[in-house]
Each structure stands twice: as C-alpha cells, then as structure tokens.
Structure 1
Amino acid sequence: MKRLLEFLGFLAVLQGVMGLVHEFADWNVGVVGRIGFLDGYEVYASVALLALGGALFAVAESRRSA
C-alpha cells in the first residue's frame, strides 16, 4: 500500500509540475491543459495536484512498510 501511495503521489506531483509548465512556458505537456472543464483554472488545478501529491507522500510515509 505504501508503494502505491508513493506512486500516486509521484504522478500527482508530476502532473502538477507539467500543468504549470504548460501554462507558463506554453509547452504542450500534461493532462491538466487538455481537460476541457478546467479551462481557465489550469494553474489552480496544477497547484491542487502538487498539494495532493505532497499529502499522498505524507500518508505513505506514515504507513508502515509491508
């Protein structure tokens, strides 16, 4: 379970960073910029993904190793 949480945290952080790169550098990377209902809220969604990734890492760290 710990490895799964770490993996999901890594994906969330990665997508958050790629969403910010998409927004500020105009590179066409990440899925945040491709989701239609987030149009205009990409930065907020990317920051939320970064926070979610940090929270998932914290939860994974609090779990015992299996």
Structure 2
Amino acid sequence: MTSSNQKPPVATLAGVLSFVLVVGGASGLLHEWLGWIHFMGFVRFLAPDGYEVYSYVVMTALGLVVAVAGDALSRHGRV
C-alpha cells in the first residue's frame, strides 16, 4: 500500500542535495571567517585556492535554488 503524500524520488534527491550544499557552503563560510568550525570538510576540495569564500557563497545559493526546484517538483507531482 502506498501513501498518497510520498514525494517523487527526484524531489527527495533534490532535498538531500540542497541540504548538503547549504550546510556545506555555510560551514565553509564559517570556517573561512571564524576559523573554528570545520563541519562537512569535504567541500573544501570543491573550492579552488584563492576563491574559497566565493565558492561557498555559490554553494549556499545553489543549494537554495535546488531546494526551491525540489519543492516545485513535489508540488507539481501532487497536482
């Protein structure tokens, strides 16, 4: 028996991806600015040397865009 309020798999994947991007970008920014938090440190390999702050801002913004797109997909799937 399936539930009628299940999200489509693409929307679920978008939610996970947006979480990783937003949290990784925000923790990277906190690490660059404050130097003490290093949560999700693997995102430092995605940022080129010298452009870390810009990369983390782009990651955070991209995560928010993916979250909005995933929400739109889940709403479209229910209609």
* TM value normalised by structure 2: 0.70
Match in the other structure for 1:18: 27
**Runs of 4+ displaced beyond 4 Å:** none
Aligned length: 64
The structure with the larger Rg is 2
Extract unaligned runs of 5+ from structure 1. none
Matched position secondary structure for 2:14: helix
AA in 1 matched with 2:42: V
Q: Identity, % of aligned pairs?
A: 34
Aligned equivalents of 2:63, 2:43: Cα separation in 1 = 15
Extract unaligned runs of 5+ from structure 2. 1-9
Q: 1:14 to 1:41 in 2, by over 3 A?
A: same
* TM value normalised by structure 1: 0.83
Q: For the aligned residues, what is the CA RMSD?
A: 1.9
